[in-house]
Structure 1
């Protein structure tokens, strides 16, 4: 143990010495540079290559002192145990005269890209190598109308949008850009290495002729795809571009990100440092790239903004886009030793969520406000804009701790300037949020450790959110979906407790009745399979098909089931064996609850024999379920299958070859 302490001491001293030298070399405190002719509430700009170095040096110092030394100290002392209404309040079927399903989105009028979409006649599908346009009507004559092939190239499609005459494909590409870059006026000439750069690419096609889609525009933003939204004809992209910090310090990496709108020329443009801003509270070796374009205006240039700092989650209303990032802070200055015992002192650390808001208008973005709340968020559903306020649900602390540092769950209401206007803190100590949903003047929050409390929270008074009622039941919900104003559907896992631990079991679907908000009840529930069962819906809300009018609920699921011998052992930790992958179709109403109407799989008997006990996926995995009129379509990478909704009668099957 003495050798261990000596190693930590020497490492800590070495780090301290190293960053003392770094500070003297680069004057670690960066210069705060304000852009000319900007409002005073705007973010500061990076300004120059040298200031970028200073900012990155400061970030490195904080990261190492608050991270690496803290990790060593903990290892030596003790090992720790492991504005729009919500769209899904309506059906995911279109309200247009043509009766077809649409993507399950969070906010009404704010479209989200998906793997498969339909316009009521054709299906549009993104796979790893191509886009397929499939004529789906009539269902007994399904055929491929056209393909856009990217095999062998550097572009990989990820998701797509479609409207009346336009297809937008979002994907990643790797470009070797040694020469085709127009340098920014303030760019520093450095000895640059040639390597592939990761780009987020949006390809826009005219699909007036479905047999011959025509590329009309191409947009590129350097980085890794985070998310996107489409509001009418306006497209918004968000990407993260990692910075090679050590390369920048040695003048061996190009620090400024690039972008291109091919409607404006073939050359990539480099962002000038005078236009790159930074987030003072959350420095990170990363550029957050946000871009917008009005697809109806061929003459409008792409609106591109770059920020030094990271983006982790994104939420968009019809008027604003929010980017959330975690901010780590220590309660006190870093301490390397405790003088009494010569042992590393534990460091208290708080994590806040910093929010950056961008105003959206006709394909342009502009930074409008920033704010911060204690804790971290789960996903985009932790945020919601309503009535001029942003509501946000967070978890703070650590679930494994039993002292005042244990986890707590919170709800904050932020005003137009993103200052905290109202708050409700300390919900369900010792648990963390598994799902949250904001619907009108209410919030629903599911926390979990051994049981699943569903909290109903009143938000009618933004300055005084209050718990109306709670329900504690086994299991938890990963995703909450509105059925109507008094009922909520929860998708998650069943769970069984063993001492102070809980083990998830099969997939659980529950219908909650919140008519009496003080006493919510679980009206109906059903469980699919055993431990090991999973669904893409639990990780991606867009995998859900729901129509209240059709009494239809459908989603893809991979089922694992226990054998008779396993059940006899009565071990809740035991995983089941793979038995099914495909779609589960339920009839759902308030009288009978969940009635399983059909299960559909694209796997044949040979596939099942080859699968063994565990299923790791294939191109026959059903990913999406859609409806056009009274016909239901299941889609995998290799098959499109159609059947009648009313009778489950098969109508047509199309094998999709690459």
Structure 2
């Protein structure tokens, strides 16, 4: 989770730099045609505005405002808006070429040494996209409150730690208390929750193998790899194996590197038998499918599978897709009413293939499954023929180039728009009223902030009834969505409301910069067909899904807004909580700003974690210390800070608990050296929030090597945190969990659970999959799942009960233990 937070911060800063420090795409003074407005953040003018028409093609592209919620009366109207946006894009490209390629007309078509005069190079457009899961890693067990309990209490904790009650979140491991369902790469494992040795069901995800005979790089053959001989001093090996003797039952069947012999120096040689796992040329390589998430609904299990096909450079005989086809989502629903235990597969009930779609997140409300995804479009197919380095423009002056480029562009945009609509497959009964109107995701200025490319991605909400009797095993889906010229940051969903939070741009007239803004598209998911519902804009960008929360008709969102100083090359931040009133039926489509806080934190601090609980908001900011704040949100129009507490390090996840009737906030994050700024280990903190105006540290503990993906057990008062240490040798490696006893005023390690021997972690061959850390409790028996094994442990004593190896022996799949 730390890495996800740091990545989110990096992407936020990177986007800011790209928007603020680069040369403007077209040098022009800021427009003054924007109507005057006195609206606050979160409120926008009702007057529709349009981007300035740039280049030789006249266009009219709206700037986002509440009217985009109206959707479309017909799909022809949607096509017209798509075509208009495409023409705006190609017109921008032409204008840029005229402005910046000032030497292009010097090209001499009669000069054989001029590269413009060479035969054209065939271009096979790359149709790849980028998948981004903004979902935050969270504890795997449910929370609750309890008083003092006896150690012999029976405890169950196997539900997903959901953010919103009644909305189940997808995860790679799910359980109904009777069985555990785990996504291990392309394999779906099912085993008895209380006895993993009673037999399993293994369902391999099917996929079509790529015919490599016509690959762009020629006929491909696997590259043979010689047996790998690795040596270690016998004394070290012996001591290492002895130290891990208790783990031999876990690791012996995991590794294909079981053959050993000694050389003349007395060193132990361990041979790994493998063939190449990487091809000679990457565009010809098609990896196995990967199960991204699972949804559990009664006696149905939904697997959301990603399948990639890296063949973008193969010459196609038919018209290439305009939607990215380097990856696709496959939704499969399985029957789990009768689970086999002989290793055979589950029964497939229904399937749906979503081409060119990248997974973001998923939820389920009763029998309704809701998938949030993004599709990407290869607009380079339009722009590739417009650049002046193409041979047909050699020697043309600006006027001649413009005329030919416009003709070339308009010959392609109409068909491109038709293909976009065809491949989206968003029509319901011939209508497109479930689609937000096409608009530039920006505000404050009519100059285009995105270089013309407003249709690069399409964010969609896909729903279906998982309890249906699927005809011919075909899942019928309903889709709503909208084009995004920014990037999707996070997802939030309740039982009848869903929101996508995308980061775009807002113009700051004071600094003459484009700043980040979050554009919230609200969807009504109370009916089988999702519909556009509401809209809002606020400054800054959110951290993760916990940055948003709906409470008593108000959406609370925390964002960080970055400001960069060219003079000092330093950044400053503004962190705020915004409170938006979500409209009811008949109240329009605008989520209006009701209240906002002052800056949360000290100067230059950024948000590290957020948790809303009822009418309270808990926020952690960070620069070198960990300020922990509590805000009173009971009055939506006047949110106010109640208390704060400052300690070294930071908490990247907050979880409410109760011990002996005392309300506490469990903070899990990293300890940081205040002098060097280096992280020194995971930090577990208990904050006493009995009196929010006088916050106190109840207990704290630092453990080096652990990382913050945790599960808390309220009855047993235990905390389970993954821990991983890799030395780069065969000795002292650890991958497993630490179990802590949590009490009022104390955090104390109880025992460790190791998931593989140090020796096999360094030398072993492993299947090409990796399980993230998860923990469950069934009848006071702890099950931990990590990397390649599942282990059951007595929760009270720490004694091992059984283990299950997920790793599959496969002589063609020899991977290192850790897959990063």
TM over 0.5: yes
Structure with greater strand share of residues: 1
Counterpart secondary structure, 1:47: helix
Q: Secondary structure at the match of 1:364?
A: coil
Bigger relative contact order, structure 1 or 2 (CA pairs below 8 A, ≥6 apart): 2
Greater CA drift, 43-52 or 386-395 = 43-52
CA-to-aligned-CA distance 1:530-561 (integer Å, 9 cap, x gap):
xxx35262xxxxxx322211212113222479
After the TM superposition, which residues 15-414 of structure 1 pair with which residues of structure 2 at under 5 Å, given as runs? 15=26, 23-30=54-61, 41-43=69-71, 47=77, 49=79, 51-56=81-86, 58=88, 91-92=142-143, 99-138=156-195, 141-150=197-206, 155-174=289-308, 191-192=319-320, 196-211=325-340, 213-221=346-354, 222-248=356-382, 251=412, 254-256=419-421, 258=423, 277-282=437-442, 283-298=454-469, 301-309=476-484, 310-332=487-509, 347-398=512-563, 406-414=572-580
Choose which of 674, 692, 697 in structure 2 pairs with 1:522. 697
Measured after TM superposition, the shift of residue 388 of structure 1 is: 0.7
Q: For the structure 1 residues 548 and 329, does the alpha-carbon distance in structure 2 shift closer, same or farther, using more than 3 Å as the test?
A: same
The structure-2 alpha-carbon separation of the partners of 1:400 and 1:298, relative to structure 1 and needing over 3 Å to count, comes to farther
TM-score using structure 2 length: 0.61
Correspondence for 1:339: none
Alpha carbons of structure 1 residues 455 and 60: separation in structure 2 relative to 1, 3 Å: farther
> Given that residues 619 and 636 in structure 1 are in contact (C-alpha distance below 8 angstroms), is that contact kept between their aligned partners in structure 2?
no
**Of 504, 520, 535, which aligns to 2:707?**
535
- Counterpart secondary structure, 1:99: coil
* Alignment-derived partner of residue 652 in structure 2: 478
**1:33–1:46 contact (8 Å) kept in structure 2:** no
CA contact (8 A) 2:334 2:347 kept: yes
State the Cα distance separating 1:162 from its structure 2 match.
1.9
CA deviations over 1:34-86 (Å, ceiling 9, x no partner): 9xxx99852468835564243246468899999xx9xxxxxxxxxxxxxxxxx
Secondary structure at the aligned position of 1:512 is classed as strand
Q: Equivalent residue of 1:373, what SS?
A: strand
Distance 1:404 1:124, change over 3 A: closer
Deviation string 1:142-177 (CA, Å, 9 cap, x unpaired) is 431343344766642111122331111012134799
Q: Mind listing any 5+ residue stretches in structure 2 that lack a counterpart?
A: 1-21, 29-50, 100-137, 147-153, 210-287, 313-317, 384-408, 443-453, 583-589, 809-820
Structure with max Cα Rg: 2
Once the two structures are overlaid, the 10-residue window that deviates more, 23-32 or 445-454, is: 23-32
- The alignment partner of 2:85 has SS state of helix
Q: Deviations over 1:427-451 (max 9, x none)?
A: 2231110111100110001111111
- In 2, Cα distance between the equivalents of 1:375 and 1:33? 17
Give the 3-state SS of the residue equivalent to 2:380 in structure 1.
helix
Q: Which residue of 2 aligns with 1:545?
A: 711
Query: 1:32: Cα distance to partner?
Result: 9.4
Go from structure 1 to structure 2 and tell me whether the alpha carbon gap of 1:53 and 1:143 turns closer, same or farther (over 3 Å shift). Answer: same
Quickly say closer, same or farther: Cα 1:323–1:217, change in 2 above 3 A.
Answer: same
Matched, 1:513 2:688: yes
Distance 1:98 1:480, change over 3 A: closer
8 A contact 2:463–2:478 mirrored in 1: yes
Q: 1:21 to 1:435 in 2, by over 3 A?
A: closer
Q: Which residue of 1 aligns with 2:735?
A: 581
Q: Structure 1 residues 579 and 332, CA, compared in 2 at 3 Å: closer, same or farther?
A: same
Deviation sequence 1:205-251 (CA, Å, 0-9, x none): 11112115221122333411011111111111111111212214563
1:503 positional shift: 2.5
Decide whether aligned partners of structure 1 residues 603 and 63 sit closer, same or farther in structure 2, where only a CA change above 3 A counts. Answer: farther
Q: CA–CA distance in 2 between the matches of 1:12 and 1:22? A: 20
Give the whole-Å Cα distance in 2 for the aligned partners of 1:457 and 1:21: 42
CA deviation vs aligned residue, 1:455-490 (integer Å, no higher than 9, x gap): 110011111000001001100011111113721011
When the two chains are superposed, the root-mean-square deviation of aligned CA atoms in Å is 4.3
> Which has the larger displacement, 223-232 or 547-556?
547-556
Change over 3 Å in CA distance of 1:201–1:89 after alignment to 2:
closer
d(CA) in 1 for partners of 2:167, 2:350? 22
Q: Which has the larger displacement, 47-56 or 230-239?
A: 47-56
Against the structure 1 CA distance between its residues 16 and 374, is the aligned structure 2 distance closer, same or farther, given a 3 Å change threshold? closer
State the Cα distance separating 1:191 from its structure 2 match. Answer: 4.5
The SS at the match of 2:203 is: strand
Tell me, what secondary structure is at the counterpart of 1:215? strand
Give the structure-1-normalised TM-score. Answer: 0.75
CA contact (8 A) 1:511 1:524 kept: yes
